Amino acid sequence: MAAALGLLLLAGCTTTRGEPAQSAVTAGPRSVMVVPFDASSLPPEQRWLGEGVAQIASLGLIEHPGIVQVDRVRAAAAGHADAWTEAVVRRVVRELHADAALYGQIRRDAERFVIQPRLLDLRAGRAEPLPTIAVAEIELLLRLSDLPVRCALALQPLTTEAVSPRIAKAAYPTDSLRAFELFARGQTAFYRGDAEAAVDALLQAIETDRRQFPRAHYALGVVHFARGDKWKAAAQLRAAVQLDPSLPEPWKTFGDLFLAPPRPLPDLAIKSYTRATELRPFYADAYVGLGDARTASGDDDAALAAYQQALTLDPFNAVTHVKLGRIWAARGLCHRAETAYQSALGLDSTVPDVRCPK
């Protein structure tokens, strides 16, 4: 059964090796939390746009090698708020040890949407407005693709001209506003733990834009995986990479599928994670998965290298520090294990102790 699943996942999936990461001179990775914009002033049927703007920003910022995003599920759990006011944003950013947060408001002005983004930068100690976007509904998706570019330039002023077009392209996932609305509604349902509603909305998004929305297929695959249905997850991930061979996230999730119980397949997982890192060389989560797969295959040296690479790209992941510390502790390198543990503890006070036993 497990081997058959492996064949299903890989059969028919083609990909191209990604271009080398464009250099973006930075002062080190920045951790940013992207949250839904406040759309409470809009009519109920249009309030999905609050999540929609957040999705656009998140999809674009993924393409910046110097920006690490806080997991949305983790941010939502810490927020406990339907409206992300500045007070709530400040509290959660500090609680999650992030550097910055992107949030804002949306209102209607005559026939236009007026989107007012704000960037809270804890290093600077203040929240600053980004350029307001006033746009008619027909041009909404096109104009919104500029938002993550503006955010990236504010967070990493030395962002190169080569990176900005990649951000803008990623922030334009479909030509269909209706399909994107359904996608955003599906993501909202998933974050709230309503997998059934998420599946329904994402299926409608795919039907609305069947040939041009690989991100919706990928999101649906993630929902199926969370529900424990590997076969349906595999089918959607395959559809995503067939529509867009350059998309690395499905390959990372393939790796997660291969490592999942009851019968992990670490060799296939290694191939999937490696493919994801080829497509996006700064994909920290894929390196974490690669480390897990190497550990499962008994190659601790390769696992160590993968975790270290992941932490170079994303030093804000407490779990990765713990995994690295476990390897050091198993080797009796107690000082290094202690250092890894303290790094993890500084990010998340609930992490398990990975120091050498006394």
Domain of 73: which CATH number? Answer: 3.40.50.10070
Beta-bridge partners for 144: none
295 lies in a domain?
no
Helix (H) or strand (E) holding 136: strand 133-136
pLDDT in tens, 335-355: 999 999 999 999 988 888 888
Task: Decide if 27 contacts 124 (C-beta within 8 A).
Answer: no
Residues 234, 104 share a domain:
no
- pLDDT of res. 99: 94
Distance of alpha carbon 331 from alpha carbon 309, whole angstroms: 19
268 lies in a domain?
no
285 lies in a domain?
no
Question: Is 20 a residue whose pLDDT tops 60?
Answer: no
- pLDDT of res. 28: 85
C-alpha neighbours within 13 Å on the C-beta side of residue 156: 26
Residues 188, 80 share a domain:
no
45 lies in a domain?
yes
Overall number of domains in the chain: 2
Residues 183, 157 share a domain:
no
Residues 205, 87 share a domain:
no
Residues 146, 133 share a domain:
yes
Distance of alpha carbon 271 from alpha carbon 132, whole angstroms: 44
Distance of alpha carbon 71 from alpha carbon 110, whole angstroms: 35
Domain assignment of residue 224, given as a range: 175-245
Q: Which two tokens stand for residue 21?
A: 């990461």
Given 156, 172, 188, the domain boundary residue is 172
Question: Is 167 a residue whose pLDDT tops 90?
Answer: yes
pLDDT in tens, 287-322: 999 999 999 999 999 999 999 999 999 999 999 999
Residues 182, 111 share a domain:
no
pLDDT in tens, 79-110: 666 678 888 999 999 989 999 999 999 999 88
Distance of alpha carbon 347 from alpha carbon 35, whole angstroms: 20
The amino acid at residue 350 is T
Task: Decide if 81 contacts 46 (C-beta within 8 A).
Answer: no
319 lies in a domain?
no
CATH code at 181? 1.25.40.10
Mean pLDDT of the chain: 90
Residues 154, 214 share a domain:
no
Given 192, 212, 245, the domain boundary residue is 245
C-alpha neighbours within 13 Å on the C-beta side of residue 160: 13
198 lies in a domain?
yes
Residues 40, 74 share a domain:
yes
Residues 156, 41 share a domain:
yes
- pLDDT of res. 157: 87
Residues 186, 68 share a domain:
no
332 lies in a domain?
no
276 lies in a domain?
no
93 CB neighbour count, 10 Å cutoff: 24
Global confidence as pTM: 0.91
Residues 213, 103 share a domain:
no
How would residue 10 be classed by pLDDT, with cut points 50, 70 and 90? low
Given 172, 205, 235, the domain boundary residue is 172
- pLDDT of res. 354: 82
Residues 152, 228 share a domain:
no
pLDDT in tens, 35-76: 999 999 999 999 999 999 999 999 999 999 999 999 988 887
Task: Decide if 148 contacts 163 (C-beta within 8 A).
Answer: no
Which positions ≥6 away from 171 have C-beta within 8 Å?
56, 57, 59, 60, 144, 145, 147, 148, 149
